[in-house]
Amino acid sequence: MKKRNPQLNKNGELIHLLSTEGLSREILTQILDTAANFVSIGDREVKKVPLLRGKSVFNLFFENSTRTRTTFEIAAKRLSADVFNLDIARSSTAKGESLLDTIANLSAMAADIFVVRHSESGAPYLIAQHVAPHVHVVNAGDGRHAHPTQGLLDMYTIRHYKKDFTNLSVAIVGDVLHSRVARSDIHALTTLGCPDLRVVGPRTLVPSEFADMGVRVCHTLEEGIKDADVVITLRLQNERMSGALLPSSHEYFKSFGVTPERLQWAKPDAIVMHPGPINRGVEIDSNVVDGGQSVVLPQVTFGIAVRMAVMGIVAGNMA
């Protein structure tokens, strides 16, 4: 018997967003189409719609983040929700309370949506299994596993500039081994029909096993980004590395740093993306970050609309 996707209800509707893996092309497209309707809200004088009025959104960031937490907060407030940011350093979990006891207590405070970022892979899944049917969980990044809203805002950005996924070459460059963003991007791009997907980096950070995900593994930058339409650069996640996987960040930049000269290997109209935070001069040159092919800042703007769409859909108001 086929196991039901924990992100969906019995009617196949999205009730939690835990991963891009296992979501259909229809659901991914629904999120992107819904986000498109929200992008212009940032240009209005009153930047609000009433979709989540009366709902309570709890941001539970057990792992540090500025950009993701802030964009979730902005997104929830633009949907007219009441937003609560839990100070994890002073929370009961820091005093030894279990994760599920924390969730149970917050649920008793009439939470409707939990936005969860956690260093342990699978934590949002565990929470989703233990909340009441009317409570929804959105994964804001768990361990090395998934970062679905980042993956979705990357898909929105690619679709915005390239229109169609089915004839694209996309290169993901950098610390793929430790990147939950890379995994979320790979699952989403594959589902949306991208025919040429490459992961690029040194063997220590891009092991050959990634070929099992249906991507081409490249260990030189030239091979990896040659004639690419989209170049997604990733930072070196030193905080997740155990042992020395690289001689130095300087050595990494010499071989895999995306510079204006090396970017010429990609197509002339290629776009350059980065999920942030950016380490200039390590994975990418400042002249590329600030150059005409960079869409790093539009990614952040689109991220607000995508997170609005996700919360609106899981809460059942965007059917």
With 0-12 CB in 10 A as exposed, 13-18 as middle and 19+ as buried, what is 11? exposed
Residue 16 counted as an annotated binding residue? no
Residue 166 counted as an annotated binding residue? no
The pair phi, psi for residue 100, each rounded to 5°, is -70, -30
Residue 262 counted as an annotated binding residue? no
How does strand 113-118 pair with strand 136-142? parallel
Tell me how far CA of residue 281 lies from CA of 195, 249, 289, in angstroms.
Answer: 31, 9, 10
Residue 69 counted as an annotated binding residue? no
Distance, C-alpha 312 to centroid of its chain:
17
Residue 204 counted as an annotated binding residue? no
Residue 44 counted as an annotated binding residue? no
Residue 68 counted as an annotated binding residue? yes
> 115: which strand partners?
59, 138
Residue 150 counted as an annotated binding residue? yes
- The CB-side HSE value for 145 (13 A sphere, CA atoms) comes to 17
Residue 10 counted as an annotated binding residue? no
Residue 4 counted as an annotated binding residue? no
Q: Which residues are annotated as a binding site for carbamoyl phosphate?
A: 67-68, 117, 147, 150, 276-277
Q: Which residues are annotated as a binding site?
A: 67-68, 95, 117, 147, 150, 180, 235, 276-277
Q: Which residues are annotated as a binding site for L-aspartate?
A: 95, 180, 235
